[in-house]
Amino acid sequence: MLHIALHFILPLVVALAVWRPQWWRNYLWMLGAFIIDLDHLLADPIYDPERCSIGFHPLHSTYAVMFYLVVLVFSWFWPSISWRQRAQVLLLGIGLHLFLDALDCFF
């Protein structure tokens, strides 16, 4: 249960620390990182607390992480500043999500 709670708490802490005036907007964008958990629907059982998500689910794989990094690098060259910032906040949320999932694999 702590693992799931951290998926909500850590983005909130980051949003409050980095984007104080508009923390709620960026917090919601980082929560959008939960979209990568749709790949859990492909697994049987859908949720297994003993299973390590990293490397098991397609959107938690090494190839997916490389894709996220490529999108992050190319987002710096997008002409629209608002979409660039949204993408970067979403990708930060994905990074935090994957970090927490990786920590869960060790404990």
Report the domain count for the chain.
1
Its domain, for residue 80, covers 2-106
**Alpha-carbon torsion, ordered 89, 92, 96, 101, to 10 deg:** 110
Residues 9-30 pLDDT 10s: 999 999 999 998 889 999 999 9
In order along its 107 residues, the chain shows pLDDT tens digits of: 788 899 999 999 999 999 988 899 999 999 999 999 999 999 999 888 888 999 999 999 999 999 999 999 999 998 988 899 999 999 999 999 999 999 988 87
Contact indicator for 29, 89 with CB cutoff of 8 Å: yes
Report the predicted TM-score, pTM, of the whole model to 2 decimal places: 0.90
Greatest Cα-to-Cα distance within the chain, rounded to the nearest angstrom: 43
- Cβ neighbours, 10 Å, residue 7: 19
